[in-house]
Structure 1
Protein backbone atom coordinates (compact mmCIF):
# COMPACT_ATOMS: atom_id res chain seq x y z
CA UNK A 1 0.00 0.00 0.00
CA UNK A 2 2.80 2.40 0.89
CA UNK A 3 4.67 1.61 -2.33
CA UNK A 4 1.53 2.22 -4.40
CA UNK A 5 0.79 5.50 -2.63
CA UNK A 6 4.41 6.54 -3.04
CA UNK A 7 4.31 5.78 -6.77
CA UNK A 8 1.16 7.88 -7.19
CA UNK A 9 2.67 10.74 -5.18
CA UNK A 10 5.80 10.64 -7.34
CA UNK A 11 3.70 10.64 -10.51
CA UNK A 12 1.67 13.63 -9.34
CA UNK A 13 4.87 15.45 -8.43
CA UNK A 14 6.17 14.86 -11.96
CA UNK A 15 2.88 16.15 -13.37
CA UNK A 16 3.28 19.29 -11.26
CA UNK A 17 6.83 19.81 -12.52
CA UNK A 18 5.66 19.45 -16.14
CA UNK A 19 2.87 21.96 -15.52
CA UNK A 20 5.28 24.50 -14.01
CA UNK A 21 7.78 24.01 -16.84
CA UNK A 22 5.03 24.39 -19.42
CA UNK A 23 3.75 27.63 -17.88
CA UNK A 24 7.28 29.00 -17.62
CA UNK A 25 7.78 28.41 -21.34
CA UNK A 26 10.61 25.92 -20.87
CA UNK A 27 8.81 23.32 -23.00
CA UNK A 28 7.84 25.65 -25.85
CA UNK A 29 10.63 24.42 -28.08
CA UNK A 30 9.51 20.80 -27.86
CA UNK A 31 5.78 21.51 -27.84
CA UNK A 32 5.76 23.99 -30.71
CA UNK A 33 8.29 22.00 -32.72
CA UNK A 34 6.37 18.72 -32.54
CA UNK A 35 2.98 20.31 -33.15
CA UNK A 36 4.34 22.31 -36.07
CA UNK A 37 5.70 19.09 -37.56
CA UNK A 38 2.26 17.50 -37.11
CA UNK A 39 0.64 20.46 -38.86
CA UNK A 40 3.02 20.18 -41.80
CA UNK A 41 2.40 16.44 -42.03
CA UNK A 42 -1.34 17.09 -42.10
CA UNK A 43 -0.87 19.04 -45.33
CA UNK A 44 0.97 16.27 -47.19
CA UNK A 45 -0.56 13.74 -49.59
CA UNK A 46 -0.84 11.11 -46.86
CA UNK A 47 -2.08 13.62 -44.29
CA UNK A 48 -5.74 13.05 -45.11
CA UNK A 49 -5.79 9.27 -44.52
CA UNK A 50 -3.62 9.64 -41.42
CA UNK A 51 -6.03 12.26 -40.05
CA UNK A 52 -8.91 9.82 -40.51
CA UNK A 53 -7.02 7.18 -38.52
CA UNK A 54 -6.16 9.71 -35.82
CA UNK A 55 -9.77 10.84 -35.55
CA UNK A 56 -10.88 7.24 -35.18
CA UNK A 57 -8.25 6.56 -32.51
CA UNK A 58 -9.26 9.72 -30.66
CA UNK A 59 -12.95 8.77 -30.80
CA UNK A 60 -12.25 5.28 -29.47
CA UNK A 61 -10.15 6.76 -26.68
CA UNK A 62 -12.69 9.43 -25.74
CA UNK A 63 -14.87 9.25 -22.66
CA UNK A 64 -17.84 7.73 -24.51
CA UNK A 65 -15.61 5.26 -26.31
CA UNK A 66 -13.87 4.18 -23.10
CA UNK A 67 -17.16 3.69 -21.28
CA UNK A 68 -18.40 1.50 -24.13
CA UNK A 69 -15.18 -0.52 -24.05
CA UNK A 70 -15.46 -0.80 -20.27
CA UNK A 71 -18.95 -2.28 -20.60
CA UNK A 72 -17.66 -4.77 -23.18
CA UNK A 73 -14.75 -5.74 -20.90
CA UNK A 74 -16.99 -6.19 -17.85
CA UNK A 75 -19.40 -8.58 -19.59
CA UNK A 76 -17.04 -11.60 -19.89
CA UNK A 77 -15.67 -11.00 -16.38
CA UNK A 78 -19.18 -11.11 -14.93
CA UNK A 79 -20.19 -14.04 -17.19
CA UNK A 80 -17.31 -16.19 -15.95
CA UNK A 81 -17.88 -15.21 -12.32
CA UNK A 82 -14.82 -12.99 -11.90
CA UNK A 83 -16.72 -10.55 -9.71
CA UNK A 84 -13.69 -9.16 -7.91
CA UNK A 85 -11.88 -8.48 -11.17
CA UNK A 86 -14.94 -6.72 -12.60
CA UNK A 87 -15.31 -4.61 -9.47
CA UNK A 88 -11.60 -3.74 -9.46
CA UNK A 89 -11.68 -2.69 -13.12
CA UNK A 90 -14.79 -0.53 -12.71
CA UNK A 91 -13.49 1.22 -9.58
CA UNK A 92 -10.05 1.74 -11.13
CA UNK A 93 -11.53 3.51 -14.15
CA UNK A 94 -14.06 5.50 -12.11
CA UNK A 95 -11.47 6.72 -9.61
CA UNK A 96 -8.94 7.53 -12.32
CA UNK A 97 -11.52 9.55 -14.26
CA UNK A 98 -12.33 11.63 -11.19
CA UNK A 99 -8.62 12.17 -10.53
CA UNK A 100 -8.04 13.52 -14.04
CA UNK A 101 -11.06 15.81 -13.87
CA UNK A 102 -9.79 17.20 -10.58
CA UNK A 103 -6.31 17.84 -11.95
CA UNK A 104 -7.73 19.60 -15.00
CA UNK A 105 -9.65 21.98 -12.73
CA UNK A 106 -6.58 22.62 -10.58
CA UNK A 107 -4.25 23.52 -13.47
CA UNK A 108 -6.95 25.09 -15.70
CA UNK A 109 -4.64 25.11 -18.73
CA UNK A 110 -6.07 26.45 -22.03
CA UNK A 111 -5.99 24.41 -25.21
CA UNK A 112 -3.19 25.06 -27.71
CA UNK A 113 -4.13 27.36 -30.58
CA UNK A 114 -1.18 26.71 -32.87
CA UNK A 115 -3.18 24.50 -35.27
CA UNK A 116 -6.86 24.38 -36.22
CA UNK A 117 -8.60 21.90 -33.94
CA UNK A 118 -9.80 18.77 -35.73
CA UNK A 119 -11.79 17.61 -32.72
CA UNK A 120 -14.44 19.26 -30.56
CA UNK A 121 -13.13 19.99 -27.05
CA UNK A 122 -14.82 21.59 -24.05
CA UNK A 123 -12.50 20.90 -21.11
CA UNK A 124 -9.11 22.17 -20.01
CA UNK A 125 -5.98 20.85 -21.68
CA UNK A 126 -3.64 19.71 -18.90
CA UNK A 127 -3.18 16.82 -18.26
CA UNK A 128 -4.65 15.04 -21.27
CA UNK A 129 -7.74 13.05 -20.32
CA UNK A 130 -7.32 10.82 -23.37
CA UNK A 131 -3.73 9.98 -22.40
CA UNK A 132 -4.49 9.40 -18.72
CA UNK A 133 -7.80 7.60 -19.21
CA UNK A 134 -6.52 5.16 -21.80
CA UNK A 135 -3.34 4.49 -19.85
CA UNK A 136 -5.59 3.51 -16.95
CA UNK A 137 -8.08 1.49 -18.99
CA UNK A 138 -5.82 -0.47 -21.32
CA UNK A 139 -3.16 -0.74 -18.61
CA UNK A 140 -5.73 -2.26 -16.25
CA UNK A 141 -6.89 -4.70 -18.93
CA UNK A 142 -3.28 -5.76 -19.54
CA UNK A 143 -2.74 -6.24 -15.80
CA UNK A 144 -5.78 -8.49 -15.59
CA UNK A 145 -4.61 -10.47 -18.62
CA UNK A 146 -1.09 -10.76 -17.20
CA UNK A 147 0.63 -11.55 -20.53
CA UNK A 148 3.46 -9.88 -22.42
CA UNK A 149 1.37 -9.76 -25.57
CA UNK A 150 -1.37 -7.96 -23.66
CA UNK A 151 1.07 -5.34 -22.39
CA UNK A 152 2.47 -4.86 -25.89
CA UNK A 153 -0.95 -4.34 -27.48
CA UNK A 154 -1.98 -2.01 -24.68
CA UNK A 155 1.17 0.09 -25.10
CA UNK A 156 0.60 0.43 -28.85
CA UNK A 157 -3.01 1.55 -28.40
CA UNK A 158 -2.10 4.01 -25.64
CA UNK A 159 0.66 5.52 -27.79
CA UNK A 160 -1.60 5.83 -30.84
CA UNK A 161 -4.35 7.62 -28.92
CA UNK A 162 -1.87 9.97 -27.27
CA UNK A 163 -0.24 10.90 -30.57
CA UNK A 164 -3.66 11.46 -32.12
CA UNK A 165 -4.36 14.31 -29.70
CA UNK A 166 -1.26 16.18 -30.82
CA UNK A 167 -1.99 15.45 -34.50
CA UNK A 168 -5.52 16.86 -34.12
CA UNK A 169 -4.10 20.03 -32.55
CA UNK A 170 -6.00 19.81 -29.24
CA UNK A 171 -3.11 18.91 -26.89
CA UNK A 172 0.52 19.88 -26.46
CA UNK A 173 2.90 16.90 -26.29
CA UNK A 174 3.57 17.82 -22.65
CA UNK A 175 -0.18 17.48 -21.92
CA UNK A 176 -0.06 13.93 -23.26
CA UNK A 177 3.14 13.07 -21.38
CA UNK A 178 1.67 14.31 -18.11
CA UNK A 179 -1.48 12.25 -18.75
CA UNK A 180 0.55 9.10 -19.28
CA UNK A 181 2.50 9.69 -16.07
CA UNK A 182 -0.71 10.33 -14.14
CA UNK A 183 -2.23 7.10 -15.48
CA UNK A 184 0.85 5.06 -14.54
CA UNK A 185 0.82 6.43 -11.01
CA UNK A 186 -2.86 5.61 -10.57
CA UNK A 187 -2.32 2.07 -11.86
CA UNK A 188 0.57 1.61 -9.42
CA UNK A 189 -1.77 2.47 -6.56
CA UNK A 190 -4.66 0.33 -7.82
CA UNK A 191 -2.35 -2.65 -8.36
CA UNK A 192 -2.39 -3.14 -4.58
CA UNK A 193 -5.97 -4.45 -4.90
CA UNK A 194 -5.46 -6.38 -8.15
CA UNK A 195 -7.36 -9.70 -7.79
CA UNK A 196 -5.28 -12.88 -7.78
CA UNK A 197 -5.09 -14.70 -11.09
CA UNK A 198 -5.43 -18.44 -11.71
CA UNK A 199 -1.78 -19.20 -11.06
CA UNK A 200 -1.96 -17.81 -7.54
CA UNK A 201 -5.14 -19.76 -6.84
CA UNK A 202 -3.47 -22.95 -8.05
CA UNK A 203 -0.52 -22.19 -5.82
CA UNK A 204 -2.81 -21.94 -2.82
CA UNK A 205 -4.48 -25.21 -3.77
CA UNK A 206 -1.10 -26.90 -4.13
CA UNK A 207 -0.10 -25.69 -0.67
CA UNK A 208 -3.32 -27.12 0.75
CA UNK A 209 -2.58 -30.51 -0.80
CA UNK A 210 0.90 -30.60 0.71
CA UNK A 211 -0.53 -30.32 4.21
CA UNK A 212 -4.12 -31.22 5.10
CA UNK A 213 -5.99 -32.72 8.08
CA UNK A 214 -6.58 -36.47 7.96
CA UNK A 215 -8.39 -38.24 10.83
CA UNK A 216 -7.62 -35.43 13.24
CA UNK A 217 -3.90 -35.32 12.38
CA UNK A 218 -2.07 -33.40 9.67
CA UNK A 219 -0.59 -35.37 6.78
CA UNK A 220 2.99 -34.40 6.07
CA UNK A 221 4.80 -34.10 2.77
CA UNK A 222 6.62 -37.36 1.75
CA UNK A 223 10.01 -35.61 1.89
CA UNK A 224 9.34 -34.58 5.48
CA UNK A 225 8.28 -38.12 6.44
CA UNK A 226 11.42 -39.58 4.82
CA UNK A 227 13.58 -37.10 6.73
CA UNK A 228 11.99 -38.14 10.02
CA UNK A 229 12.61 -41.81 9.28
CA UNK A 230 16.27 -41.17 8.60
CA UNK A 231 16.51 -39.27 11.85
CA UNK A 232 14.96 -42.16 13.79
CA UNK A 233 17.35 -44.66 12.22
CA UNK A 234 20.32 -42.51 13.19
Structure 2
Protein backbone atom coordinates (compact mmCIF):
# COMPACT_ATOMS: atom_id res chain seq x y z
CA UNK A 1 0.00 0.00 0.00
CA UNK A 2 2.92 2.33 0.61
CA UNK A 3 3.51 2.37 -3.15
CA UNK A 4 0.55 4.71 -3.62
CA UNK A 5 2.60 7.43 -1.91
CA UNK A 6 5.45 7.16 -4.43
CA UNK A 7 6.35 10.49 -6.12
CA UNK A 8 5.52 8.98 -9.52
CA UNK A 9 1.94 8.40 -8.36
CA UNK A 10 1.62 11.98 -7.15
CA UNK A 11 3.05 13.40 -10.37
CA UNK A 12 0.73 11.20 -12.44
CA UNK A 13 -2.32 12.47 -10.53
CA UNK A 14 -1.23 16.06 -11.09
CA UNK A 15 -0.70 15.38 -14.79
CA UNK A 16 -4.18 13.84 -15.12
CA UNK A 17 -5.70 16.85 -13.39
CA UNK A 18 -3.92 19.33 -15.66
CA UNK A 19 -4.75 17.36 -18.80
CA UNK A 20 -8.44 17.22 -17.87
CA UNK A 21 -8.40 20.91 -17.09
CA UNK A 22 -6.74 22.07 -20.29
CA UNK A 23 -8.46 19.76 -22.77
CA UNK A 24 -11.98 19.16 -21.44
CA UNK A 25 -15.26 21.02 -21.58
CA UNK A 26 -17.76 22.04 -24.21
CA UNK A 27 -15.18 22.07 -27.01
CA UNK A 28 -13.96 18.54 -26.28
CA UNK A 29 -15.47 15.92 -28.61
CA UNK A 30 -15.17 13.17 -25.99
CA UNK A 31 -17.01 15.22 -23.36
CA UNK A 32 -19.78 16.21 -25.76
CA UNK A 33 -20.27 12.66 -27.03
CA UNK A 34 -20.54 11.18 -23.52
CA UNK A 35 -22.91 13.90 -22.32
CA UNK A 36 -25.16 13.42 -25.37
CA UNK A 37 -25.17 9.64 -24.87
CA UNK A 38 -26.04 9.95 -21.20
CA UNK A 39 -28.85 12.33 -22.07
CA UNK A 40 -30.45 9.60 -24.15
CA UNK A 41 -29.99 7.08 -21.34
CA UNK A 42 -31.72 9.43 -18.90
CA UNK A 43 -34.74 9.68 -21.15
CA UNK A 44 -34.98 5.90 -21.47
CA UNK A 45 -34.54 5.11 -17.75
CA UNK A 46 -36.34 7.73 -15.62
CA UNK A 47 -36.50 5.47 -12.55
CA UNK A 48 -32.74 5.06 -12.55
CA UNK A 49 -32.42 8.84 -12.77
CA UNK A 50 -34.40 9.18 -9.54
CA UNK A 51 -32.10 6.69 -7.84
CA UNK A 52 -29.02 8.52 -9.14
CA UNK A 53 -30.30 11.82 -7.72
CA UNK A 54 -30.35 10.18 -4.28
CA UNK A 55 -26.86 8.71 -4.66
CA UNK A 56 -25.34 12.00 -5.77
CA UNK A 57 -26.44 13.64 -2.50
CA UNK A 58 -23.89 11.48 -0.69
CA UNK A 59 -21.27 13.77 -2.18
CA UNK A 60 -22.88 17.00 -1.01
CA UNK A 61 -21.04 19.54 1.08
CA UNK A 62 -23.04 18.48 4.14
CA UNK A 63 -22.11 14.83 3.72
CA UNK A 64 -18.42 15.30 3.00
CA UNK A 65 -17.68 18.05 5.51
CA UNK A 66 -19.85 16.30 8.07
CA UNK A 67 -17.95 13.03 7.71
CA UNK A 68 -14.55 14.69 7.69
CA UNK A 69 -15.09 16.83 10.76
CA UNK A 70 -16.92 14.07 12.63
CA UNK A 71 -13.88 11.83 12.14
CA UNK A 72 -11.60 14.67 13.29
CA UNK A 73 -13.71 15.17 16.42
CA UNK A 74 -13.55 11.45 17.15
CA UNK A 75 -9.76 11.57 16.91
CA UNK A 76 -9.68 14.58 19.23
CA UNK A 77 -11.93 12.73 21.69
CA UNK A 78 -9.33 9.94 21.66
CA UNK A 79 -6.73 12.64 22.48
CA UNK A 80 -5.06 12.31 19.08
CA UNK A 81 -5.06 16.06 18.67
CA UNK A 82 -2.33 16.40 16.06
CA UNK A 83 -3.87 13.69 13.88
CA UNK A 84 -7.29 15.33 14.27
CA UNK A 85 -5.84 18.69 13.23
CA UNK A 86 -4.20 17.12 10.17
CA UNK A 87 -7.49 15.58 9.05
CA UNK A 88 -9.50 18.75 9.67
CA UNK A 89 -6.98 20.90 7.79
CA UNK A 90 -6.98 18.44 4.90
CA UNK A 91 -10.78 18.50 4.63
CA UNK A 92 -11.06 22.28 4.93
CA UNK A 93 -8.00 23.02 2.80
CA UNK A 94 -9.14 20.82 -0.07
CA UNK A 95 -12.55 22.46 -0.07
CA UNK A 96 -11.10 25.97 -0.16
CA UNK A 97 -8.58 25.05 -2.87
CA UNK A 98 -11.33 23.48 -4.97
CA UNK A 99 -13.55 26.55 -4.74
CA UNK A 100 -10.61 28.72 -5.77
CA UNK A 101 -9.88 26.50 -8.77
CA UNK A 102 -13.50 26.64 -9.90
CA UNK A 103 -13.46 30.42 -9.83
CA UNK A 104 -10.10 30.67 -11.57
CA UNK A 105 -10.90 28.19 -14.35
CA UNK A 106 -14.53 29.14 -14.88
CA UNK A 107 -15.49 26.26 -17.17
CA UNK A 108 -19.22 26.36 -18.10
CA UNK A 109 -21.36 23.38 -17.18
CA UNK A 110 -23.35 21.34 -19.69
CA UNK A 111 -26.73 22.98 -20.24
CA UNK A 112 -30.10 21.23 -20.31
CA UNK A 113 -33.69 22.44 -20.25
CA UNK A 114 -34.37 20.45 -17.09
CA UNK A 115 -32.08 20.81 -14.09
CA UNK A 116 -32.12 17.46 -12.33
CA UNK A 117 -30.06 18.73 -9.39
CA UNK A 118 -29.28 22.24 -8.18
CA UNK A 119 -25.84 23.66 -9.00
CA UNK A 120 -24.26 26.91 -7.89
CA UNK A 121 -20.70 26.92 -9.24
CA UNK A 122 -18.69 26.43 -12.40
CA UNK A 123 -17.89 23.03 -13.85
CA UNK A 124 -14.21 22.15 -13.40
CA UNK A 125 -13.23 20.33 -11.31
CA UNK A 126 -16.29 18.44 -10.10
CA UNK A 127 -16.81 19.21 -6.42
CA UNK A 128 -18.63 15.97 -5.71
CA UNK A 129 -15.78 13.96 -7.24
CA UNK A 130 -12.95 15.91 -5.62
CA UNK A 131 -14.54 16.30 -2.20
CA UNK A 132 -15.60 12.67 -1.85
CA UNK A 133 -12.23 11.39 -3.02
CA UNK A 134 -10.29 13.71 -0.71
CA UNK A 135 -12.46 13.26 2.36
CA UNK A 136 -13.21 9.54 2.05
CA UNK A 137 -9.58 8.64 1.36
CA UNK A 138 -8.21 11.00 4.01
CA UNK A 139 -10.53 9.51 6.62
CA UNK A 140 -9.57 5.99 5.52
CA UNK A 141 -5.83 6.63 5.69
CA UNK A 142 -5.71 8.96 8.69
CA UNK A 143 -8.59 8.08 11.01
CA UNK A 144 -9.20 4.36 10.43
CA UNK A 145 -7.13 1.91 12.53
CA UNK A 146 -4.24 0.28 10.67
CA UNK A 147 -5.76 -3.20 10.64
CA UNK A 148 -8.77 -1.93 8.66
CA UNK A 149 -6.98 0.68 6.57
CA UNK A 150 -6.60 -1.26 3.33
CA UNK A 151 -10.28 -2.20 3.23
CA UNK A 152 -11.29 1.34 4.14
CA UNK A 153 -9.10 2.76 1.38
CA UNK A 154 -10.62 0.50 -1.26
CA UNK A 155 -14.13 1.30 -0.04
CA UNK A 156 -13.37 5.04 -0.12
CA UNK A 157 -12.14 4.87 -3.70
CA UNK A 158 -15.16 2.82 -4.79
CA UNK A 159 -17.65 5.15 -3.10
CA UNK A 160 -16.10 8.23 -4.68
CA UNK A 161 -16.08 6.62 -8.12
CA UNK A 162 -19.78 5.79 -7.86
CA UNK A 163 -20.78 9.24 -6.59
CA UNK A 164 -18.61 11.04 -9.12
CA UNK A 165 -20.07 9.01 -11.98
CA UNK A 166 -23.54 10.33 -11.12
CA UNK A 167 -22.53 13.87 -12.08
CA UNK A 168 -22.17 13.49 -15.86
CA UNK A 169 -25.07 11.05 -15.85
CA UNK A 170 -27.27 13.79 -14.39
CA UNK A 171 -25.97 16.23 -16.98
CA UNK A 172 -24.36 18.69 -14.55
CA UNK A 173 -20.71 17.92 -15.34
CA UNK A 174 -18.51 17.01 -18.27
CA UNK A 175 -16.69 13.67 -17.85
CA UNK A 176 -13.32 15.45 -17.66
CA UNK A 177 -14.68 17.53 -14.75
CA UNK A 178 -15.14 14.30 -12.84
CA UNK A 179 -11.78 12.84 -13.86
CA UNK A 180 -10.07 16.06 -12.81
CA UNK A 181 -11.96 16.06 -9.52
CA UNK A 182 -10.99 12.50 -8.70
CA UNK A 183 -7.32 13.10 -9.45
CA UNK A 184 -7.26 16.36 -7.47
CA UNK A 185 -8.99 14.87 -4.43
CA UNK A 186 -6.78 11.81 -4.33
CA UNK A 187 -3.67 13.93 -4.75
CA UNK A 188 -4.66 16.10 -1.77
CA UNK A 189 -5.42 13.09 0.45
CA UNK A 190 -2.14 11.34 -0.38
CA UNK A 191 -0.15 14.54 0.13
CA UNK A 192 -1.75 14.95 3.55
CA UNK A 193 -0.59 11.49 4.58
CA UNK A 194 2.91 12.16 3.23
CA UNK A 195 3.09 15.39 5.24
CA UNK A 196 1.77 13.58 8.30
CA UNK A 197 4.44 10.91 8.04
CA UNK A 198 7.27 13.34 7.34
CA UNK A 199 6.28 15.45 10.34
CA UNK A 200 5.88 12.35 12.57
CA UNK A 201 2.19 13.11 13.09
CA UNK A 202 1.35 9.76 11.55
CA UNK A 203 3.27 6.57 12.28
CA UNK A 204 3.13 3.82 9.67
CA UNK A 205 4.74 0.99 11.61
CA UNK A 206 1.40 -0.63 12.44
CA UNK A 207 0.32 -0.36 8.81
CA UNK A 208 3.56 -1.98 7.70
CA UNK A 209 2.92 -4.91 10.02
CA UNK A 210 -0.55 -5.51 8.59
CA UNK A 211 -0.02 -4.75 4.91
CA UNK A 212 3.34 -6.46 4.79
CA UNK A 213 1.94 -9.50 6.60
CA UNK A 214 4.40 -9.05 9.44
CA UNK A 215 3.71 -9.44 13.12
CA UNK A 216 5.53 -8.01 16.10
CA UNK A 217 8.27 -10.36 17.24
CA UNK A 218 7.46 -12.58 20.17
CA UNK A 219 9.46 -11.51 23.17
CA UNK A 220 11.87 -14.20 24.25
CA UNK A 221 12.08 -14.74 27.97
CA UNK A 222 15.36 -15.87 29.44
CA UNK A 223 15.27 -19.09 31.34
CA UNK A 224 15.47 -18.50 35.04
- TM-score between both structures, scaled by the size of structure 2: 0.77
Distance 1:97 1:7, change over 3 A: farther
Aligned equivalents of 1:182, 1:154: Cα separation in 2 = 15
Aligned equivalents of 1:48, 1:14: Cα separation in 2 = 33
Q: Are the equivalent residues in 1 in contact too, given 2:134–2:185 (CA < 8 A)?
A: yes
Aligned equivalents of 2:134, 2:25: Cα separation in 1 = 26
Partner of 1:48: 46
Superposed counterparts of 1:175-190, under 5 Å? 175-190=177-192
Superposed counterparts of 1:119-130, under 5 Å? 119-130=117-128
> Which has the greater radius of gyration?
1
Q: Secondary structure at the match of 1:43?
A: helix
Say whether residues 1:199 and 2:206 are aligned partners: yes
Deviating 4+ runs (over 6 angstroms): 3-7
Deviation at 1:9, TM superposition (A): 6.1
Q: Are the equivalent residues in 2 in contact too, given 1:39–1:115 (CA < 8 A)?
A: no
Aligned equivalents of 2:117, 2:77: Cα separation in 1 = 36
Which digits, 9 at most, give the CA deviation of each residue in 1:195-220, with x for residues without a partner? 226727x9xxx89xx9xxxxxxxxxx
RMSD of equivalent CA atoms:
3.1
Partner of 2:199: none
Which digits, 9 at most, give the CA deviation of each residue in 1:71-118, with x for residues without a partner? 332333222222222111100111111111121122110111157331
Distance 1:121 1:23, change over 3 A: closer
Aligned equivalents of 1:111, 1:24: Cα separation in 2 = 8
Deviation at 1:8, TM superposition (A): 5.5
Q: Secondary structure at the match of 1:106?
A: helix
Deviation at 1:169, TM superposition (A): 0.8
Deviation at 1:10, TM superposition (A): 5.5
Say whether residues 1:38 and 2:33 are aligned partners: no
Give the alignment partner of residue 64 of structure 1, picking from 51, 59, 62: 62
Deviation at 1:177, TM superposition (A): 0.2
Partner of 1:165: 167
Aligned equivalents of 1:4, 1:93: Cα separation in 2 = 22
How many residues matched? Answer: 203
Unaligned ranges ≥5, structure 2:
197-201, 210-215
Distance 1:115 1:141, change over 3 A: farther
Q: Mean alpha-carbon deviation: is it higher for 148-157 or for 69-78?
A: 69-78
